[in-house]
């Protein structure tokens, strides 16, 4: 069987949307924790979450407060801006339908059930009391799709297109979260070794499900530079930028082997990977963390567009 | 339990005793706890929803995809009943293919005076482009769904021949899967003929009609109008099950005299296209220029032997409701035999005497649009109000040639499971037939559609119908 360009594109987007919905749910979870533990700081946190999701302007239009119920409902279930968790899960399922013949029944059913769950739980405005259950259900269902993918899919081009979508989106998400919070890490340039506001760094780590792993590796008081190093350059952490880009490079390498054809995407991925592998956290801070993250995000987007062209997703 | 005496119930005779094919099932059924069965029925619904076996209803675009309701009481057909039915179906399907070949070649049936010339020349389903052309393997209608209804112990009628793009086969297959997973014990106790090899047979059958320019193993593709089409689930299902690509028009292009699909590694030729798209949309260069669903130039490639299109363009004329009334003659003409399956008596409203009769007896008749399908635009006289009858009579007088009328048939019933126990509901049956150059194959059983509303005779899923698993018993 050959893979249609449309199918490869559908897989890529299906997994981008799934990753995106899961990431947003994680951000909401971190925000929720702040609003429970430090009511006063919550407004600022919700604002930065909305910014991270790229929905600043859309939210301003609603005229809503930066308070938990409005923001949470906006991010979870609002259909007007098309980027809510619910919309993205539905988009993932729509793409899943398009590529139905390329995925196993188990992957399809897990995706479909995820959508059935989301539609049911998000049918009406969410009450604060129900939020933990809903966020847990989203996390669980995302894990089920991933599990079905790992456990049942052939390791061929189809799998690699799906994984490329996942890691592309994940790298972008980690970079965005860091970029929105980069100013928190900045004082460290002047005072290497200074301590951060504990709650702030905890939130950054929580929103990337990194708190446990980071503490495991850094038992003492957290230093900003260690956090940045961990989230950008630690190849052991599955949401770090370097981990994601290595994976993409690897997925593209398998495509090259399977198809017997080296394309521009492979070269581009190599370039992005080289830049990161040769970087040290000190040099990144010297050149400017924000600039580094921006450059990375642009490179990541260009890579996505190149993959789309090389593998004829649309024409 | 006895059904309404005026209808033939397939499960129970007049005395309320289970008929022969249902005996083993009924013994099992009597042992079940009703509450548990109802719970199973609800589970079946969840199972279908999970699998995503859904359809969209035309004209309700915002509506979420719906499930076709499934009833867990099977419809059971004995081996001897099936043997007779399948002989009749095979005869009919062979005649239809012979008819299609004839009307696109010498039109002997017209020359012999058995079919009025205008039935062909003025039929919108007749394609001039197909005149003189013979499709690969000589097969026109590869996949046919013959709708059957029953009115008595031995009375079966063919109600419609779906010779273009019959749908529903995925329900036949999934209904069986669902029944087997819910009631495995039934399948070890009762010997039921399998349906699950349909996709394999479909693949074989389509491959056997590969075009001249195909070298090697034929590459098959299912051409769908897209994921928003009401039958998309089925298109994806069939492509998946038979190992074919699932393509839309914009995935295809003419490259080097072949129809080719855009893969991740460039364009690759396709040999056989199982299209689930009407003729009109197939080729914007030949038919509707505004169609974005088809493939520009595909008809030229087809004519040059570069691709097989199944079913062949122009097959629709055989299942046209105006042609329907000639099918007994068509069978006699091409097969030299008496038809084994009955046709429902049909008044062609284009004929003045018939029209007068139809208008006089409208409240007792079923009137259908000649080119309609899916139960749209039809009138069920006995169920219609005075106002609806009057409105329909006006439409009839305005365009009589657009309608045919048939007596309201006393469709047989098979019980469904309701909260109050078994209750008889009207059913029909759509067996699925595969035609290849060397054989005709009929999957034992088919899709039983059931009108879930008490007393209703309309079984279409778009009009509140459901489905049942259909069993053909082994000898």
ipTM of the complex in this document = 0.86
Rounded CA separation B69/B448 (Å): 12
| Same-domain check for residues B322 and B447 | yes
pLDDT at B2 over 70: no
- Pair B95, B127 in one domain: yes
What integer is the mean pLDDT of A204-225? 89
Work out the minimum CA distance from B170 to partner chain A, whole angstroms.
14
Count of the separate structural domains present in chain B: 3
Between A160-169, B4-13, B328-337, the lowest mean confidence (pLDDT) is in: B4-13
Nearest to A101 among B246, B248, B250 (CB): B246
Task: Name which of B232, B263, B265 is nearest A97 (Cβ-Cβ).
Answer: B232
Mark whether B197 and B120 lie in a shared domain. yes
- B50 vs A109: CB contact, 8 Å cut-off? yes
Question: Is there a domain that residue B206 lies in?
Answer: yes
| Record: contact A261-B236, CB cut-off 8 A | no
Contact A2 B245 (CB under 8 A): yes
Give yes or no for a contact between B262 and A6, defined as CB atoms under 8 angstroms apart: yes
With an 8 Å Cβ cutoff, are A4 and B49 in contact?
A: no
Task: Please check the confidence at residue A196 and state whether its pLDDT lies above 60.
Answer: no
Distance (Å, whole) CA A22 – CA A173: 11
Q: Bigger pLDDT: A243 or A30?
A: A243
Give the CATH number of the domain where residue B282 resides.
3.40.50.11290
Confirm or reject contact between A12 and chain B (CB < 8 A): no
Question: Between helices A157-180 and A42-52, what is the axis angle to 10°?
Answer: 140
Q: What's the average model confidence in pLDDT over B100-113? A: 97
Clarify whether residues B258 and B236 are in a common domain. Answer: yes
How many Cβ pairs within 8 Å bridge chains A and B?
63
Count, residues in chain A? 315
pLDDT in tens, A250-268: 999 999 999 999 999 999 9
**Residue B369 has what pLDDT?**
87
User: Do B353 and B460 have their domain in common?
Assistant: no
Q: Which residue has the higher pLDDT, B287 or A157?
A: A157
From chain A, pick out residues whose CB is under 8 angstroms from the CB of B50. 109, 112-113, 116
pLDDT tops 60 at residue A2 = yes
d(CA A7, CA A190): 50
Same domain, B178 and B96: yes
A229-250 as b/e: b if 16+ CB within 10 A: bbbbbbeebebbbbbbbbbbbb
Same domain, B128 and B162: yes
Give the end-to-end CA distance of chain B in Å, rounded to a whole number.
27
| Cβ-based neighbours of A178, under 8 Å, separated by 6 or more | A185, A204, A228, A231, A232, A289, A293
CB contact (8 A) between residue A157 and residue B268: no
**Beta carbons of A3 and B232 less than 8 Å apart:** no
d(CA B432, CA B437): 17
Q: Is B6 inside a domain boundary?
A: no
Q: Strand B156-162 vs strand B342-343: parallel, antiparallel, or unpaired?
A: parallel
Testing the interface with A: which of B62, B221, B242, B265 to mutate, by most A Cβ within 10 A?
B265
Identify the burial level of B180 via C-beta atoms within 10 angstroms of its C-beta, where 0-12 means exposed, 13-18 middle and 19 or more buried.
middle
A100 close contact with B: CB closer than 8 A? yes
Residues B418 and B322 in one domain: yes
Q: How far is A112 from chain B (nearest CA, A)?
A: 6
Residue B143 has pLDDT above 50, yes or no: yes
Cβ–Cβ below 8 Å for B49 and A116: yes
Residue A145 CB neighbours (<10 A): 26
Query: How many residues would you count in chain B?
Result: 475
SS3 category, A273: helix
3-state DSSP percent of chain A in helix, strand and coil, to 5: 75, 0, 25
pLDDT above 50: residue A65: yes
Query: How far is residue B24's CA from residue B18's CA, in Å, rounded to a whole number?
Result: 9
- Angle in degrees, 0-180, between the axes of helices B169-182 and B34-51, rounded to the nearest 10: 130
- State the average pLDDT for chain B: 92
Q: Which residue pairs, CB below 8 angstroms and at least 24 apart, start in B265-269?
A: B265/A2, B265/A259, B265/A261, B266/A312, B268/A2, B268/B219, B269/B219
Residue B300 backbone dihedrals phi, psi, to 5 degrees: -65, -45
Contacts of A127 (CB under 8 A, 6+ apart): none
| Among the listed residues B465, B429, B449, B423, the one whose alpha carbon sits nearest the alpha carbon of residue B3 | B423
Token pair for A74? 């906006």
B79-95 average pLDDT score: 97
Q: CATH no. for residue B374?
A: 3.30.1490.270
Clarify whether residues B178 and B290 are in a common domain: no
- pLDDT category, B1, cuts 50, 70, 90? very low
Using DSSP bridges, classify how beta strands B70-77 and B465-472 pair: parallel, antiparallel or unpaired: parallel
The range of the structural domain enclosing residue B248 comes to 212-306
- Domain boundary residue, one of B407, B432, B459: B407
Lowest model confidence (mean pLDDT) among A261-275, B40-54, B136-150: B40-54
């Amino acid at each position: 069987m050959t893979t249609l360009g449309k199918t490869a594109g559908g897989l890529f987007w299906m997994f981008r949307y799934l990753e995106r919905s899961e990431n947003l749910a994680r951000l909401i979870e971190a925000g929720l924790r702040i609003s429970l533990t430090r009511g006063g700081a919550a407004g600022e946190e919700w604002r930065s979450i909305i910014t991270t999701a790229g929905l600043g302007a859309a939210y301003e239009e609603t005229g809503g407060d930066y308070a938990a119920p409005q923001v949470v409902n906006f991010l979870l279930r609002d259909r007007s801006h098309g980027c809510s968790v619910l919309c993205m899960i539905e988009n993932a399922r729509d793409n899943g339908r398009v590529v139905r013949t390329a995925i196993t029944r188990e992957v399809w059913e897990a995706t479909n059930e995820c959508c059935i769950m989301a539609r049911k739980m998000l049918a009406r405005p969410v009450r604060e009391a129900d939020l933990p259950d809903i966020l847990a259900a989203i996390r669980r269902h995302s894990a089920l799709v991933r599990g079905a993918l790992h456990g049942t899919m052939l390791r061929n081009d189809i799998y690699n297109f799906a994984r490329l979508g996942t890691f592309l989106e994940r790298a972008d998400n980690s970079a965005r979260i860091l970029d929105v919070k980069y100013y928190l890490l900045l004082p460290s340039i002047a005072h290497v070794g200074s301590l951060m506001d504990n709650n702030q760094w905890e939130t950054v780590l929580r929103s990337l499900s990194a708190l446990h792993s980071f503490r495991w590796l850094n038992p003492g008081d957290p230093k900003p530079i260690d956090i940045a190093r961990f989230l950008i350059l630690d190849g052991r952490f599955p949401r770090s930028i370097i981990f994601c880009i290595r994976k993409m490079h690897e997925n593209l390498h398998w495509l090259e082997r399977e198809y017997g054809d080296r394309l521009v995407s492979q070269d581009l991925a190599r370039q992005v990977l080289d830049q990161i592998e040769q970087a040290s956290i000190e040099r990144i801070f010297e050149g400017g963390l924000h600039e580094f993250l921006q450059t990375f995000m642009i490179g990541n987007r260009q890579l996505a567009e190149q993959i789309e062209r090389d593998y004829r997703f649309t024409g | 339990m006895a059904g309404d005496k005026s209808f033939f119930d397939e499960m129970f005779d007049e005395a309320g005793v289970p008929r022969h094919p249902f005996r083993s099932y009924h013994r099992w059924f009597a042992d079940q706890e009703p509450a548990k069965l109802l719970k199973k029925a609800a589970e079946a619904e969840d199972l279908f929803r999970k699998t995503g076996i859904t359809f969209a209803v035309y004209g309700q675009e915002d509506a979420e995809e719906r499930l076709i309701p499934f009833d867990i009481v099977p419809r059971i057909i004995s081996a001897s009943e099936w043997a007779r039915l399948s002989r009749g179906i095979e005869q009919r399907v062979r005649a239809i293919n012979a008819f299609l070949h004839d009307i696109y070649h010498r039109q002997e049936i017209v020359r012999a005076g058995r079919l009025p010339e205008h039935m062909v020349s003025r039929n919108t389903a007749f394609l001039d482009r197909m005149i003189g052309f013979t499709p690969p393997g000589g097969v026109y209608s590869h996949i046919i769904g013959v709708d059957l209804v029953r009115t008595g112990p031995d009375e079966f009628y063919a109600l419609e021949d779906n010779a273009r793009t019959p749908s529903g086969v995925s329900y036949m297959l999934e209904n069986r899967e669902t029944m087997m997973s819910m009631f495995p014990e039934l399948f070890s106790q009762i010997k039921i003929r399998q349906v699950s090899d349909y996709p394999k047979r479909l693949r074989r059958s389509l491959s056997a009609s590969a075009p001249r320019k195909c070298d090697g193993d034929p590459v098959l593709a299912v051409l769908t109008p897209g994921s928003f089409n009401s039958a998309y689930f089925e298109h994806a299902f069939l492509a998946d099950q038979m190992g074919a690509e699932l393509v839309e028009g914009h995935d295809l292009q003419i490259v080097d005299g072949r129809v080719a699909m855009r893969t991740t590694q460039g364009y690759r030729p396709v040999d056989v296209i199982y299209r689930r798209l009407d003729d009109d949309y197939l080729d914007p260069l030949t038919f509707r220029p505004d169609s974005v669903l088809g493939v520009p130039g595909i008809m030229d490639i087809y004519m040059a032997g570069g691709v097989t299109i199944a079913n062949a363009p122009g097959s629709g004329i055989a299942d046209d409701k105006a042609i329907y009334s000639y099918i007994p003659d068509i069978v006699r003409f091409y097969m030299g035999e008496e038809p084994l399956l009955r046709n429902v008596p049909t008044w062609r409203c284009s004929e003045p005497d018939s029209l007068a009769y139809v208008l006089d007896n409208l409240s007792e008749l079923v009137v259908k649009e000649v080119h309609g399908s899916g139960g749209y635009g039809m009138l069920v006289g006995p169920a219609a109000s005075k106002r609806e009858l009057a409105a329909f009579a006006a439409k009839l007088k305005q365009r009589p040639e657009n309608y045919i009328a048939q007596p309201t048939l006393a469709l047989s019933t098979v019980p469904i499971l309701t909260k109050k126990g078994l209750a008889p509901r009207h059913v029909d049956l759509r067996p699925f037939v595969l035609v290849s150059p060397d054989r005709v194959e009929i999957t034992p059983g088919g899709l039983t559609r059931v009108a879930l509303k008490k007393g209703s005779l309309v079984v279409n899923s778009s009009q509140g119908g459901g489905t049942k698993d259909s069993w053909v018993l082994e000898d």
